[in-house]
Structure 1
Amino acid sequence: MISKTPVLVTGGAGYIGSHAVLALKDAGWPVAVIDNLATGFRFAVPDDVPFYEGDIGDSALLARIFAEQGMGGGQGEGRGAIMHFAGSVVVPESVADPLKYYRNNTARTRDLLESAIAAGVPHMIFSSTAATYGIPEETPVAEDAPQRPINPYGMSKLMSEAMLADTAAAHDFSFCALRYFNVAGADPQGRTGQSTAGATHLIKVAVEAALGQRDGVDVFGTDYDTPDGTGVRDYIHVSDLAAAHVHALEALLAQPGRSLTMNCGYGRGFSVLEVLDAVDRVTNSRIERRMQPRRAGDPPALTADNARILEALPWRPQHDDLETIVAHALQWERKLSDIRSSG
């Protein structure tokens, strides 16, 4: 039986982080959150979860959190784990403002690691991305494929993966880097979801359009070598992704000293038009589609080879149905409109 060690979730007021908090809490783990609320929302964190507003680069604050939450300890006796979601995630913004991404994603991860090692916190689950692969030579893409990011966002995460590996080699520390594909959907119970205004995720954008919050959806590229000419992506339900983090934590605790790197996806993809058609079916409406030229750097298709995570963890998707993902996103979008209108 694995002892449920305290877990600090960085960026726990954000989209994926808030779902991880719920998954941990639902499973009985002691959990706390640090978030600077730059892009997160205080309402996304349950009232009974300890919340610290601040930056993960603040070493004094982190030392206090670790002490208050019973994390850290002596060599070989450290307690606690960090689930690290804090960072910036918009690819076009990373191209326009690369130094922001190297600060928020790379430098701040370095600061967080330094604080963890100083306190003796022995484990970290890291929010990585399929963007570290760049444009893969073949898809589905496996974890041992070349990592050649084509934007600062992907590079900032790849640099963080390298720091994790080097830190694990030098200290009593282990990590799991989870490389996400396209995250979508919302908590099935409607407790949290994607709340960022102006978000660029396709399903979020499409649901907003279906509810009249946008006047349509831009489809970038209609001449790819795919069945309908539009880009194909592997969409993973955010609650399945959160569950993968809990299983990864259990794996680190079960075998101290072992680190893992795994893709998080379903191993199959849907095209942009297939996603929009699914939204039309769920909402019984028709979204306006605006055909646009390709965007630089978009691969025709990007899906996960997920054999490793299925072998390494007892994780099995529970929400791997496109219309289910859309329905949960739609349910959250309606609730979010109520939250915003009520103040």
Structure 2
Amino acid sequence: MPNELPSPNPVAVVLAKPVLSFTDTGLSVSDGVTRIGAWQVSSLVGWEYSFDMGVTWTRGEGDFFDVRGDGAKSIWVRARDDLGRTSEIVMVSCVLDTTPPAPVQAEVATQELTRLVRVSGIEPQGSWEYSMDDQRTWWPGTGNRLAVLGNALPVMWLRQVDLAGNPSPFERVNLMEPGSPTWHEASGNPIQPSMLSLQQARTVVLHGSVVRGDADYIRWEIPVGQRLQALRLVHYVSPDPIAFFALQRAPVFDAGIDVNRMLVYGHMGPQDLKRNVLKDVAAGQLTAGPMTLWFQQTGPQATEYAIELVFAPVE
């Protein structure tokens, strides 16, 4: 009887590791901080997860599982087939934070024609935001002061956002105070523009209402060691989608219609929200010295606007 050939060794089955992902809502997409407890799992077979470093395992269902309870988490996930074979363990760490921070503290003062709002109570690594349109749109604040000049928007809202991206309850700030010089109609005279007092604010909002024959001229002085980093439209309400703006590096706006004397100019409307109109201007043109803004509507329909200025230290 011929000798029987030995049976081949069985081939070990190696299961592919699952792919684990979550929504990082912290300061960066890789800092491991999130306010969202849903974790996505992609696996070719079944899978299971552990919150106690493999002491106990829970079979997963579908393609996600929920992490609950604020704090630091160590999460293990592995593939598992119907025969009980398991893959290499995927280990991740994160911090879950679903608790909103406290509201910001806003201290409001009058500085000449400017409404100055000092913002405090921000958590470590948190930030603050403001809204000029009844909380529909939020804009990031810079520094710890917000200077406001104008006469179109009576209320603004402030909130803080913590490291995990949780927004706080809002704080309502009244911008319209009867008899106060800070509820100010901007000058219509280009040779005598309204003077904005920055008061060391790095975020500034100019707001007003213009119509044909009623242009706004506003001047400010960029402090030594600072530069004007951004000028952008943050609010625009009008049946007419086009207004006009121009910026001159001077204490008055005497350029007339000579665009060669304007630092930047152009049309401005809803399509320009968030656009920094200074992004192509040489940095040296945006340092210490006077600036005057011209904002105008040439049509017969009133236009309500708000423009944000952002200042930063000279690098």
TM-score by structure 1 length?
A: 0.25
Query: Hey, which of these two has a bigger chunk of helix by percent?
Result: 1
TM-score by structure 2 length?
A: 0.26
Q: Which has the larger radius of gyration?
A: 2
Query: Hey, which of these two has a bigger chunk of strand by percent?
Result: 2
More relative contact order, 1 or 2 (CA 8 Å, 6+ apart): 1
